[in-house]
Structure 1
Amino acid sequence: MEPTPQRAPWWVLLAVVLGVAAVLVAIYAPPLSFLTRQDLTSCGDVTRDVDGQVPREAVACLQEAQAAGAGAELTVTDYTVEGDPITTYYRAVPDRSGLEVYVDSRDGYGKQGWTHLHCPQARTVPDVGTCQDV
């Protein structure tokens, strides 16, 4: 008579599922600083054109808000060769120099997850100068 295969207890399966879920949330969930960021005027949600350029109107909107000391946010989505999205949120925050930048990368062959940067010399998109992690 052959032995009956043993199954893992239900709680082992539950622990594995919860562990995988926790890793996925850690990679893909926005940071608290993004979720609680200040609401700013939207300059749109755009995709770069075939030449890699952001539409001029969107960049002008962000630059005008920055020059006026007002706030604005421009969302730019790029796609990798494989079609994975990388979304960048450029933010002109009142009373703060340069731009605040959040990057949400879903690049299957590169860095995945969120990055939060402050780019104090930034004057335009995409030329943001030197940035520091926040």
Structure 2
Amino acid sequence: MLAIRRALVGLIAIGVVAAAVLAFVTFREEPSAASDSASPRSAVIANSMASAGAPASFRNRPTFRSCGEVVLAQGVRIPQARIRCLAAAPAEGRELVIASPTTEGDPIVRYYRTGPDLDGVEIVEDATRDRFGGGWHRSLCRSGRIDQTGACA
């Protein structure tokens, strides 16, 4: 009887550990190297923000509440919590800054903005460090939503 009880307790312990591991794998936030207001700004984002070559409309943009600055590794998606922040109060004005590498590893910085004078999500892209692209680009995602790849949803 004692052996059966010990075996049962062991099986329950294994089940609890397995459930905890499964919950961690299922609900964890995707890995990214994040740099937000609580930590130093990444050099690629700092250089982009200070770029003398940025369009005047970008340099003179209104200041909105920050949803953070995130530096993504190759193939890593934008954390869902950051996308929710951007969508939370579009009339208030929000900005999310994402730095991610091209296939070749060149950094691209994208500024996703929602605000009272914007009809959707404004996307301003700094591709000046992309060897095969380049320049600054602006687009508007009229749906007002982006997905975890940063594309209009």
**TM bucket by the smaller chain?**
0.5 to 0.7
Number of residue pairs the alignment of both structures matches: 100
Aligned to 2:95: 73
Output one character per residue of 1:47-91: Cα deviation in whole Å (capped at 9) or x when no partner. Answer: 23554310112111101022xx21000001111243311000000
Partners of 1:117 and 1:123 in 2: CA distance: 13
Structure in which a larger fraction of residues adopt strand: 1
Aligned to 2:81: 57
Any conservation in 2 of the 1:104–1:114 contact (CA below 8 Å)? yes
Any conservation in 2 of the 1:77–1:87 contact (CA below 8 Å)? yes
The answer to whether residue 102 in structure 2 is matched with residue 86 in structure 1 is no
Please, which moves more after superposition, 81-90 or 36-45? 81-90
RMSD between aligned residues: 2.1
Shift of 1:119: 2.0
Gaps spanning 5+ residues in structure 1: where? 1-27, 130-134
Partners of 2:104 and 2:140 in 1: CA distance: 29
Aligned to 1:118: 140
Aligned to 2:63: 39
Any conservation in 2 of the 1:48–1:55 contact (CA below 8 Å)? no
Output one character per residue of 1:73-124: Cα deviation in whole Å (capped at 9) or x when no partner. Answer: 000111124331100000002143211110001211x210100122222312
Q: Give the alignment's TM-score, normalised by structure 1.
A: 0.66
The answer to whether residue 81 in structure 2 is matched with residue 48 in structure 1 is no
Gaps spanning 5+ residues in structure 2: where? 1-51
Identity of paired residues, percent? 35
Partners of 1:82 and 1:48 in 2: CA distance: 14
Partners of 1:49 and 1:72 in 2: CA distance: 23
Any conservation in 2 of the 1:47–1:54 contact (CA below 8 Å)? no
Q: Give the alignment's TM-score, normalised by structure 2.
A: 0.58
Any conservation in 1 of the 2:74–2:100 contact (CA below 8 Å)? no
Partners of 1:43 and 1:107 in 2: CA distance: 25
Tell me which amino acid in the other structure corresponds to 1:45: E
